């Protein structure tokens, strides 16, 4: 039994206020004891100065989009819409192979670790070879991602995406385009057979995803939802990111995307809707009533000119909020979580919708729950020993009063303030540096 004791100068345990002088005991990757009011670090304990919070959960990632950073954001006139951006993303998707994906994802997950992210939910849909045929190992790409997550030391949920059709037109579903053939299994049963061969481990779980109502027909959604239900694993789907998706879905099915997913049996308390930017009042009530999660990805949604989701109305309806870095235009969950509140202020021109505690919960416990790790996102006895420690010596956070630390962190911290990161009791980032990966060098090499 390996037991290590940490003395935390200041800590936020996942609810309530910031506490000071807390002793945390970690046994075999789990928090086994918490003692408050320990004024000085006992001999043999490791000292974590600054602010320690539960590890951050990135509930929506496409690792390979890291290759798009800087290449697409600046192209104003040539890429005015989401759909123009998608064509550029497809070019990158077309260039991947298992080895390149492994190197790019390993560096990207290590960048996430250095930003304080302890759990990644990877929404993975580039399954097949460039001509659409299966690799000799049909999960070669998914397994490349699992290996990358293990290398980078992050906890991981592979959300293996069912993707069948090229789009949804007035006459029904289109055939996949040449590039989309890399994403598509022949039908939902073929998806279930392929995914059955993916093996979870102590820090890796496998969940299900439906790409969107554009790419999966209702009866196939039902097949995927049943698979997830039988295993009690998470089910994620892109939902109503663009108004065009709503219009196409209404024209083809006479119902909104949310309604189609609900009628297909996908929407329950293990379901996470990604984006949910353009939802009706009934859609909001459907998601909230089911206890579903909505994963907002504000830095991507602003980059792609998607619009601003109604985060306050989602919470009022009963939905939980999580956050994701999605297209990796930046990797910074402090930026994603404060954007929930700040974008809402811009949208309704009023302040004070989401408390700092609620915003940080979206980036921690709610993300863990959404990705099927219910025992994470807290610093309580019995919780996973995943934590993120912020320096209070940076110009952004220096001089903050303890009573304002949480708001200071949520509204001003950046990924650069992260100094130590622990996953399952192991430090994967120490003094701001990844312990196994030279992040900048490996990103440079993979992005060549």
- Taking the complex as a whole, how short is the minimal distance between the CB of residue 200 and Zn ion, in angstroms? 22
Exactly one of 10, 128, 165, 275 is catalytic; which is it?
A: 275
Smallest gap from residue 430 Cβ to Zn ion (A): 31
User: Which residue number, 306 or 326, has a Cβ lying nearer to Zn ion?
Assistant: 326
Residue (326 or 336) nearer to Zn ion, CB: 326
- Nearest approach in angstroms of CB 238 to Zn ion is 6
Residues 366/321, Cβ–Cβ less than 8 Å = yes
Q: Which of 326, 332, 343, 386 is catalytic?
A: 326
Residue nearest Zn ion, CB atom distance: 326
Q: Which residue has the tokens 């239900």?
A: 229
| Residue 258: alpha-carbon gap to chain centroid | 20
Count other C-beta atoms under 10 Å from residue 403's C-beta: 10
In whole angstroms, the minimum distance from the beta carbon of 297 to Zn ion comes to 7
Q: Which is nearer to Zn ion, 52 or 157 (CB)?
A: 157
268-307 mask for Zn ion (x: CB under 5 A)?
A: ----------------------------------------
Q: Which token pair is 286?
A: 């459907």
Nearest to 426 by CA among 89, 91, 113: 113
Nearer to Zn ion, 336 or 417 (CB): 336
**Which two tokens mark 394?**
């940076």
Phi/psi for 264 (5° steps) reads: -90, 0
Each residue 70-89 as x (binds Zn ion by CB under 5 A) or -, in order, gives --------------------
326: annotated active-site residue: yes
- Parallel, antiparallel or unpaired: strands 387-390 and 320-323: unpaired
Query: What distance in Å separates the CA atoms of residue 215 and residue 239, rounded to the nearest whole number?
Result: 11
Q: Smaller CB distance to Zn ion: residue 297 or 387?
A: 297
Closest CB 420 distance from Zn ion, rounded Å: 30
Residues 310-329 that bind Zn ion (CB under 5 A): 326
354 included as an active-site residue: no
Nearest CA to 125 among 62, 189, 200?
A: 62
Q: Give yes or no for a contact between 424 and 385, defined as CB atoms under 8 angstroms apart.
A: yes
The rounded radius of gyration (Å) of the Cα atoms in the chain is: 21
Q: Which is nearer to Zn ion, 326 or 341 (CB)?
A: 326
d(CA 42, CA 59): 36
d(CA 351, CA 180): 42
Residue burial 13-38, b: 16+ Cβ < 10 Å; e: rest: bbeeebbebbbbbbeebbbbebeeeb
Q: 307 or 318: whose CB is closer to Zn ion?
A: 307
Cα separations in angstroms, 216 against 89, 167, 199, 207? 20, 9, 24, 17
Are the C-beta atoms of residues 304 and 327 closer than 8 Å to each other? Answer: yes
| Least distance between Zn ion and beta carbon 312 (Å) | 23
Residue 47: CB minimum distance to Zn ion, A? 39
Residues in the chain, how many?
Answer: 448
DSSP 326: B
Q: Which residues contact 441 (CB under 8 A, 6 or more apart)?
A: none
Q: Toward Zn ion, which CB reaches closer, 211 or 353?
A: 211
CB closer to Zn ion out of 82 and 135: 82
User: C-beta of 125: minimal distance to Zn ion in Å?
Assistant: 9
C-alpha to C-alpha distance for 3 and 7, rounded to whole angstroms:
14
Contact of 369 with 377, CB cutoff 8 Å: yes
Kindly tell me the sign of the dihedral angle through the C-alpha atoms of 294, 297, 298, 303. Answer: negative
**Closest separation in Å from C-beta 183 to Zn ion:** 12
Name the helix (H) or strand (E) containing 231: helix 218-231
By CB under 5 A, the count of residues binding Zn ion is 1
Structure tokens at 55: 């590890």
**Interacting residues with Zn ion between 325 and 384 (CB under 5 A):** 326
Residues that bind Zn ion (CB under 5 A): 326
Residues labelled as active-site residues: 275, 326
């Amino acid at each position: 039994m390996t037991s290590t004791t940490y003395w935390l100068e200041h800590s936020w345990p996942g609810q309530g206020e910031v506490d000071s002088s807390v002793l945390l005991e970690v046994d075999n990757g789990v928090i086994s004891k918490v003692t408050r009011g320990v004024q000085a670090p006992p001999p043999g304990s490791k000292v974590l100065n600054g602010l320690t919070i539960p590890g951050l959960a990135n509930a929506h990632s496409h690792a390979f989009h890291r290759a798009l950073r800087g290449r697409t954001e600046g192209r104003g006139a040539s890429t005015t819409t989401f759909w123009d951006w998608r064509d550029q993303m497809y070019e990158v998707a077309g260039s991947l192979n298992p080895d390149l994906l492994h190197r790019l994802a390993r560096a990207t997950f290590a960048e996430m670790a250095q930003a304080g992210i302890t759990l990644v939910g990877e929404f993975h849909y580039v399954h097949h070879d460039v001509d659409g045929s299966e690799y000799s190992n049909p999960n070669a790409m998914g397994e490349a991602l699992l290996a990358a997550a293990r290398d980078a030391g992050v906890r991981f949920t592979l959300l293996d995406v069912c993707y069948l059709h090229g789009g949804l037109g007035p006459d029904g579903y289109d055939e996949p385009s040449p590039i989309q053939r890399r994403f598509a299994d022949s039908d939902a049963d073929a998806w279930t057979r392929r995914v059955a061969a993916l093996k979870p481990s102590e820090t890796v779980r496998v969940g299900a995803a439906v790409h969107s109502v554009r790419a999966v027909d209702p009866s196939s959604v039902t097949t995927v939802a049943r698979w997830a239900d039988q295993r009690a694993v998470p089910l994620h789907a892109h939902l109503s990111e663009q108004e065009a998706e709503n219009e196409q879905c209404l024209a083809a099915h006479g119902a909104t995307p949310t309604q189609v997913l609900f009628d297909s049996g996908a929407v329950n308390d293990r379901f996470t809707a990604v984006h949910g930017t353009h939802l009706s009042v009934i859609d909001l009530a459907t998601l909230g009533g089911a206890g579903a999660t909505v994963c907002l990805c504000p830095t991507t949604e602003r980059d792609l000119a998607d619009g601003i989701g109604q985060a306050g109305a989602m919470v009022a309806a009963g939905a939980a909020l999580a956050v994701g870095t999605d297209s990796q235009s930046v990797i910074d969950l402090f930026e994603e979580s404060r954007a929930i509140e700040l974008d809402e202020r811009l949208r309704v021109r009023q302040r004070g919708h989401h408390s700092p505690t609620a915003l940080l919960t979206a980036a921690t416990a709610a993300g863990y729950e959404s990705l099927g790790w219910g025992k994470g996102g807290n610093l309580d006895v019995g919780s996973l020993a995943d934590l993120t420690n912020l320096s209070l010596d940076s110009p952004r956070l220096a001089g903050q009063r303890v009573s304002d630390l949480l708001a200071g962190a949520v509204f001003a911290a950046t990924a650069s303030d992260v100094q130590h990161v622990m996953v399952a009791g192991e430090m994967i980032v120490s003094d701001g540096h990844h312990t196994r990966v030279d992040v900048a060098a490996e990103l440079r090499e993979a992005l060549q």
